Amino acid sequence: MLQRLRRTTYARLHGLSLTRRLVMVLVLLVLAAYLLTTSVTVMQLRTYLVERADADLSAYIEPLARSAFTQVEEQAAGLPPSEQQVFVPPNPYYVLVTPADDSVPAIALPTQQINNPPDLGRLETDDPRLGTPFTVKSTDDVTRWRVLAARVENPSGQIGGTIAVGLPLTAVDNTVSQLFFLTVVIGLTTMVVVGVLGWFAVRRAFRPLTRMEDTAAAIAAGDLTRRIPPPGASDEVGSLSDSLNVMLARIEQSFGVRQASERRMRDFVADASHELRTPLATVKGYAELHRFGAMSDPEDVSGAMRRIEDEATRMTRLVEDLLTLTRWDSEPEMSPTRVDLTVLASDVVQDARVRAPQRTVELVPLSEDQPDLVPVVMGEDGALRQVLTNLVANALAHTPPGTPVDVAVGRDDELVVVEVRDHGQGLDEDTAARVFERFFRTDKSRSRASGGTGLGLAIVAAIVGRHQGSVRHVPTPGGGATFRVELPAARSANS
């Protein structure tokens, strides 16, 4: 039963909002501190007042004892009342004289009537309470009395009996009660004030957290542009807001990159499918013509087989380019060696002259005042050779017959630069901005009978990027297009 009640209470507390829980904790802490200080204050005050009463009793007991016993002895000797020295204790003290002789009754002073005297009974000389202040109730069990009792000797040197001096604790109890009442009233008022002020203070302090909650809800609803407003204070909440804003910016950027990647992937799959569908449709068409017997002439059959072979070659080249892009997109580990781009460019120029003997392809210096530095880079020979081959092939394919193509190699400070320049019609701004996109062609037609795969420059950009370099298009002076490749120069072999 107790365990179930504890679980229910725990569940109810956790069902409250954080603001209410904090205010409740604040009020409970203040209440605990107030109860502790109030209890200690009341106890200390009571102790102090009782000690004052004990001190007064100690100061009065000796003179009271002498005067009281003298009066008792004279009264016992039968002296006339006129000759008795009547002793009246000061108000509100109460004195009880108990003679050692049991035949003599105890005498209570003062002579005026006290309605509720302390309930002391007969104090004998061997009573253990003698000499130490003690507290007793009154005869009506309402008023408390503080009493100090002692043994008293008569003038002959014999023990004459006992004397008890009592002082009512009514003033002490009233003072303590008033203090307790005031502390209860002040405490309740303080609890209410602390609760109200704590509620507003905690809500104000939690205002940045509320904004964070609203921002998180908006982001969960799909608005990735939302940010947490700055709280305007250099505290933990402000630091948390800054960190969350940085995190949200990175999340938005990551989602943007992911969406862009998915969009590029969709475009890539669509373009690749389209590129493969065209030659496949050609091959299928010729195969169906042959199967239906539409090509009975051997020359027609030979022509169809040649077209099928051309389309298969195109598909093979497309698949190889796709595999090359996939390889470089996965950032493969490279085995770089020192590559002299002058030698590499010379080989590429010679290969181009063999493939297109009617075209003019020249290897030229990068500038007239070329420094005497060898254009050597760290990289993969085969990959860099493919870069130059693709750039030269692109220049030959997109310029009119007879247009010269220049390959310039040289150094520019800490960079090795290769420029493939043609002197054709050049590229407009829109085309130049998209020329390195995959499957992009300046020819908008989809009959790629004589064109490439549209992946050559994309492969160039991927390879150059993996070599920590850059490639860009710049206009050729006098007309034409220049593709400039910049790669970090290799350190000297002696360094």
pLDDT in tens, 155-199: 555 557 888 888 888 888 898 889 888 888 888 888 888 888 888
pLDDT attached to residue 84: 46
For residue 130, what pLDDT is reported? 87
In this prediction, residue 140 carries a pLDDT of: 82
Angle at CA of residue 141, ends 138 and 143, nearest 5°: 55
Quick one: average pLDDT of 76-82? 53
Answer with the residue of higher pLDDT: 227 or 67.
227
Q: Is residue 111 over pLDDT 60? A: no
For the chain, the C-alpha Rg in angstroms (whole number) is: 56
Distance, CA of 46 to CA of 170 (rounded, Å): 12
Give the list of residues 6+ apart from residue 370 with CB closer than 8 angstroms, or none. 410, 411
Rounded to whole angstroms, the Cα distance separating 165 from 148 reads: 5
Q: What is the pLDDT of residue 11?
A: 60
| pLDDT, averaged across the chain | 79
Task: Tell me if 487 sits within 8 A of 469, measured CB to CB.
Answer: yes
- Check: CB of residue 467 under 8 Å from CB of residue 487: yes
Q: How far is it, in rounded angstroms, from Cα 489 to Cα 385? A: 17
Across 330-359, average pLDDT: 85
CA dihedral angle for residue 286, residue 292, residue 293, residue 295, rounded to 10 degrees: -20
- pLDDT, one tens digit per residue, over 454-490 is 777 888 888 888 888 999 988 888 888 899 999 998 8
Contact predicate 126/194, CB 8 Å? no
CA–CA separation, 450 vs 269, rounded Å? 22
Q: Give one word for 400, left, alpha or beta, with left for phi > 0 and alpha for psi -120 to 50.
A: beta
pLDDT digits over 112-139, tens only?
567 778 888 778 777 888 888 998 988 8
Number of Cβ within 10 Å of residue 29's Cβ equals 11
pLDDT digits (tens, 9 = 90+) for 396-407: 888 888 889 999
Please report, as a single letter, which amino acid is at residue 219.
I
Beta bridge partners of 136: 145
How high is the pLDDT of residue 484?
A: 92
Give the model confidence (pLDDT) of 260-272 as tens digits: 778 777 777 776 7
Q: Which two tokens stand for residue 295?
A: 């090509």
Distance CA 244, CA 240 (A): 6
Q: Minimal CA–CA distance to 97: which of 30, 151, 144, 23?
A: 151
Coil, strand or helix at 376 = strand
pLDDT at 81: 47
Looking at residue 82, what DSSP letter applies? G
Output the pTM of the full model.
Answer: 0.48
* pLDDT on residue 112: 53
Decide: 410 and 369 in contact? Cβ < 8 Å. no
- Helix or strand or coil: residue 367? coil
- The phi and psi torsions of 224 (rounded to 5 degrees) equal -75, -5
Q: Determine the pLDDT at residue 83.
A: 47
- Arithmetic mean of pLDDT, 5-31: 72
Inter-residue contact 176 to 45 (CB < 8 Å)? yes
HSE-CB at 473 with a 13 A cutoff on CA atoms is 22
Written as six digits, the tokens of 436 are 């390195």
Where does the pLDDT of residue 430 fall: very low under 50, low under 70, confident under 90, or very high at 90 and above? confident
Helix, strand or coil for residue 141?
Answer: coil
Quote the pLDDT of residue 204. 78
**Spatial distance between the Cα atoms of 107 and 123, rounded to a whole number of angstroms:** 11
Other Cβ atoms within 10 Å of 68 Cβ, number: 22
Q: What is the rounded CA–CA span in Å between residue 430 and residue 451?
A: 20
**Can you tell me the mean pLDDT for 441-450?**
51
Q: What secondary structure letter does DSSP report for 487?
A: E
Start-to-end CA span in the chain (Å)? 83
| 3-class DSSP state of 457 | helix
Going by C-beta distance under 8 Å and a sequence separation of 6 or more, which residues neighbour residue 348? 385, 388, 389, 392, 407
**Residues making up the chain, counted from first to last:** 495
Q: What is the mean pLDDT of residues 293-304?
A: 76
Which conformational region is residue 101 in: left (phi greater than 0), alpha (psi within -120 to 50 degrees), or beta? beta
Residue 204's CB: how many other CB atoms inside 10 A? Answer: 9
For the cut 60, the answer to whether the pLDDT of residue 432 exceeds it is yes
Share of the chain above pLDDT 90, in %: 5
pLDDT at 159 (0 to 100): 56
Q: How confident is the model at residue 448 (pLDDT cuts 50, 70, 90)?
A: very low
Vertex 394 angle, CA 391 and 400, to 5°:
135
Residue with tokens 């499957």: 439
Q: Determine which helix (DSSP H) or strand (DSSP E) holds 109, and give its type and residue range.
A: strand 107-109
Nearest to 336 by CA among 388, 378, 382: 378
